[in-house]
Structure 1
């Protein structure tokens, strides 16, 4: 009887079987189970230096372990798990099975953070379970052929009255998979976008029983840390379509928000998901809850991801999403344009990940500024202003993300084309670029705040970037002074803070003390902090008048050819003339 081998050998099994009592370990050896061959064993281990080829059938009554230095792919045959006690599929690396069967009466578990692929037929007559833990991510399964039977998926979630956005990783998950009347007895909600309220918080709709809709997201709250258990068939036989809507309420910022969720027992690539769904804006929004339980000043808010990067919220983990939809993760998307359409989760979007959190930092290869606002109550918000060759000065679906405000006491955003952005992507910049980007701040507390530069990435040192505080008449070089303290007015603060790319500070200093003028692209900005009465006139370099106006406007567009022009300002008997460049 072949029990174990520790030295180099080759075993050929042709139209017969080998019965290995105890542990089969082919460390340093080479095993071939060709088509027509049959191997019966208890524990089966592919050793760190072993080699294994299978086209025949293998019957395992113990654990399956792949400890070699790479994925083990079985190109043919069937592996049947038929033990009388709990078995595991584990090891240092993944096994890609051809056909896999969990026999009736058998119970197979995949430990947290471990991955399994089944490229052929998956038959789950017995119990097949993906485990989860607080330290490691939920185990992951990707199947590529037909499947039958039920899969059980564990999803570990934190307690402390944190609000989670969750979804079922199996077909028609039970309501009780996320509702627990012994762990706080909190209500479960889904989000009805078709409500016509101008307040986006009005759409939450309670669910009391039944099953969870595939691809839909729900809320869940627990007093204590918990492992939620989902059991059902797989959602991988075909694409999962979810109807999403954009219903007009008279407030476009409240329209088009749909809560959807990963329907698979594996992670999903955010970039592939967005590329497959052109009917949504390209930004995904994740709720990052705190543990205040409604007491004090909550720092919970939305973290955001799109192709230009990710911005952390001020609450919970305070880390940025990593471009991966974890198992059981729900999130908000915004449908582009009015009406309804179908959003799709597809098998091709699936991937494995070992990340235990929903969010981790990412690497980038384009220009980017990352800013945050924090205050003395530890509330914070992040924004990204990216500069990339694929972006335009218009709204770019894949790279621009509208601000979704979740915290009533703090919201930080950039403003472009009258839209508020958490991620704002514009064309690449260099030392010749002249651009002004307004910032907005909603403050619920009139206390000390700080604007901080978190990232200054892939931008040439010759590019000068300044923060302007128009109220205090200050320009701050963000490359030198990476934070700026101020006290905002309670409410919405716009027309106070601006990001300047290569500002003409010499020209600004030469202006009248109570008036400033600068240009960005084809837009001319007039800074009139004392609301002085007067008028302006724009001419070309030959003196031809192009437009006129009074000084009560903040900015205007000048649709002329690229070049230098003159703006003449008259106020209180003073005359200012400034040369400006229009791109």
Structure 2
């Protein structure tokens, strides 16, 4: 009898505490979790958990107010709106997809995982409450290319961030994660020891690099408030350049950002934002007011995207507001928006050679002229263009500044000639082509090469050339907009660029002359100060004026084909 009683007790214990029964009764099984802590598909089936998927619509049904802490939610594409209190286990947002949490709504979850790749970013806009951890995996280029990024999630100390991201490029205790120090004009890489109490600040930009071109993981809180008064400095060492960035895990509308903050920026040639595009030519994508007015550009600043701005004299304060947040799926600083009545046309001209590329933009806008227009004409980030580059000079009032974006009045599209700056090494085969355009159909866009007296209609053809010598600056190439067909040179002097180089005490004449040309320099009293003969065998000519006193002078060019050009110069 005693043995029978003992046997029954053992059977009862085995039945109650059988592992398979425990699994069914508790609803989870540690052994069936994946490496990331999520349940496998088989475990999901056993626990009766549901995976709700959003692909511009819910499947198998809406999880709002219906999902439990056992269920997962995946946003694959489109924008999912959370309009009712909802609970779930893991919520994942794929690259290019978005989630919006309405005001007054609470989302309770173990974790929200926001993912990105090299071309698309997920987006989270929350006006409600999130109970749970938010993680943004922000794609970051590998070392050698580097990236300019910002923290889309707030509340992380740098050592915690570095420990979480073993793919962050390192050298000893230093990490490839660096703010731009305006007092020194240089990046300052963070150190896991000396920066042990340093927080990753909202609105600040960082230069970062991974070992393998993968994502950096930011964990913390998704901001639901405005990020105000981000200081930008006019420090001389940095040239007034400041690296700032999007503080939200969502896209920012550039138009709204620029309208609120442009008064804090340099109001001469740099009233714009400058985004590093990561190409091998050290190129920058430049957005200004002409960009905001154009329907040809996707004016979205990606989550975790940093960019440079140049501060006004005395410095300024930048504001990021929740009203700027928007959904999207575009790349960071890459070209496609609502039309403004001021906008009339746009082209992006591209030069390429092997893996190298460089582009420059032209807009036709009713707020612009052929001279300098603050906010519409923006200079290159670097005053000295890279060895492989493409830019333009002003049509009127040219001071020699290399522009990455130039705007003109609408009538100019029917007849304007733009000096192009081209930097290319000897023997480097280079191709010019129109990368983007929304010009009227009747506008012909020609590339003029004065070295061989040719016009190429870029609307239908690319132009390929290989220089015999290193090519720098303006004088050889011009971009012509016209409604008529061009086949011969209409005016040699029309495209000549005349500049006073006060640093080197010279007068520079850039452009191809097609016949011998005499030049005279007059003072303000009309007296001839010097004469010279310009050769038709070169597109760059220099006149030494180091012996002249500072003042206003008049230069006159006369060719043996009865062409004449007169221009005023200020020599300091």
- State if a TM-score over 0.5 links the two structures: yes
Q: Establish whether residue 354 from structure 1 lines up as the match of residue 333 from structure 2.
A: no
**Are 2:205 and 1:217 equivalent residues in the alignment?**
yes
Matched, 1:171 2:145: no
* 2:138 match: secondary structure: strand
**Which residue is equivalent to 2:113?**
130
Give the direction of change, closer, same or farther, for the CA distance of 1:379–1:238 in structure 2 (3 Å limit): closer
Q: CA deviation at 1:323?
A: 2.1
CA-CA distance at 1:171 after TM superposition = 1.7
Identify the residue that residue 423 of structure 1 maps to in structure 2: 405
* Secondary structure of residue in 2 paired with 1:454: strand
Relative to 1, partners in 2 of residues 1:532 and 1:240: Cα closer, same or farther, differing over 3 Å?
same
Counterpart secondary structure, 1:429? helix
Q: Structure 1 pair 488/338, CA: closer, same or farther in 2 (3 Å)?
A: farther
Q: Map residues 156-555 of structure 1 onto 2, 5 A cutoff.
A: 156-159=139-142, 161-175=144-158, 176-177=160-161, 180-181=165-166, 184-185=169-170, 186-195=175-184, 202-208=185-191, 209=195, 210-248=198-236, 255-278=239-262, 279-280=264-265, 281=270, 283-289=272-278, 298-309=280-291, 322-335=298-311, 337-355=312-330, 357-358=331-332, 360-362=334-336, 366-375=344-353, 377-405=354-382, 408-416=386-394, 417-418=398-399, 419-429=401-411, 433-444=414-425, 446-455=427-436, 457-461=438-442, 463-479=443-459, 481-487=461-467, 489-490=469-470, 492-502=472-482, 516-518=492-494, 528=513, 532-535=517-520
Q: Which moved more, 1:221-230 or 1:440-449?
A: 440-449
Preserved contact between residue 385 and residue 424 of structure 1 (Cα < 8 Å): yes
Residue-by-residue CA offset, 1:450-491 (whole Å, 9 max, x unaligned): 333435532352x45433333444444444653141416436
Q: Which residue pairs with 2:82 in the alignment?
A: 97
Cα distance between partner residues in 2 of 1:505 and 1:394: 26
Equivalent position of 1:540 in the other structure: none
Q: Distance in 2 between matches of 1:80 and 1:387?
A: 53
Query: Match of 2:14?
Result: none
Question: Which residue number corresponds to residue 88 of structure 1?
Answer: 73
SS in 1 for 2:335: coil
- How far 1:150 moved relative to its partner? 4.6
Q: 1:235 to 1:158 in 2, by over 3 A?
A: same
Deviation at 1:422, TM superposition (A): 1.4
Q: Which range is displaced more, 140-149 or 216-225?
A: 140-149
From the two aligned structures, give the one with the greater strand fraction: 1
Q: Deviation string for 1:393-420 (max 9, x for gaps)? A: 3444543332125984312101113222
Q: How far apart are residue 389 of structure 1 and its match? A: 2.1
Equivalent residues of 1:183, 1:222 under 8 A apart: yes
Partner Cα distance (1:503, 1:135) in 2:
41
How much does 1:89 deviate? 5.4
Cα distance in 2 for partners of 1:510, 1:323 equals 39
How far the C-alpha of 1:98 sits from its partner, in A, is 4.4
> How many positions carry a matched residue from both structures?
458
- SS in structure 2 opposite 1:117? strand
CA-CA distance at 1:533 after TM superposition: 3.7
| CA distance in structure 1 between the aligned counterparts of 2:483 and 2:75, rounded to whole angstroms | 58
CA distance in 1, matches of 2:288, 2:107: 37
- Following TM superposition, by how much is the alpha carbon of 1:255 offset from its aligned partner in structure 2, in angstroms? 2.3
Which residues of 2 match residues 35-50 of structure 1 at below 5 A?
none
Alignment CA distance shift 1:224-1:101 (3 Å): same
Q: 5+ unaligned residues in a row in structure 1: which ranges?
A: 1-59, 196-201, 291-297, 311-319, 538-544, 556-566
Deviations 1:301-348 (A, max 9, x none): 3233445459xxxxxxxxx9732222212122233x322111111101
- Asked if 1 retains the 8 angstrom alpha-carbon contact of 2:474 and 2:511, the reply is no
Instruction: Tell me, yes or no, if structure 1 residue 154 matches structure 2 residue 137.
Output: yes
Q: Distance in 2 between matches of 1:155 and 1:170?
A: 10
Q: Tell me how far 1:568 sits from its aligned partner.
A: 8.8
SS in 2 for 1:493: coil
Answer whether contact 2:140 2:209 (CA < 8 A) is retained: no
SS of residue matched to 1:242: strand
CA distance, structure 2, for counterparts of residue 429 and residue 526 of structure 1: 25
The secondary structure found in structure 1 opposite 2:247 is coil
Distance 1:97 1:235 in 2: 17
Whole-angstrom distance in 2 between the partners of 1:247 and 1:424:
27
Gaps of 5+ in 2: 1-47, 500-508, 535-540, 543-554, 567-572
Change (3 A) 1:190 1:212: same
Find the aligned partners of 2:76 and 2:429 in 1 and give their Cα distance. Answer: 52
Q: How far is 1:212 from its partner? A: 1.0
Q: Report if aligned partners of 2:349, 2:436 keep a CA contact under 8 Å in 1.
A: yes
Tell me by how many angstroms 1:243 deviates. 0.9
Deviations 1:105-132 (A, max 9, x none): x633133144322222355775331331
1:339 partner SS? coil
Quick check: 2:227–2:247 contact (8 Å CA) kept in 1? Answer: no
- Alignment check: 8 A CA contact 2:178 2:206 kept: yes
Which deviations, in whole Å up to 9, do the C-alpha atoms of 1:220-278 show, x marking residues without a partner? 212224332212223222334311123346xxxx7232211111111111222112212
Q: Does the residue aligned with 1:246 lie in a helix, a strand or coil?
A: coil
Is contact 1:464–1:501 with CA below 8 Å preserved after alignment? Answer: yes
Q: CA RMSD in A?
A: 4.6
Q: 1:21 — aligned with what? A: none
Q: Deviations over 1:287-312 (max 9, x none)?
A: 2336xxxxxxx4453233445459xx
What secondary structure does 2:315 align onto?
Answer: strand
Q: Which residue pairs with 1:542 in the alignment?
A: none
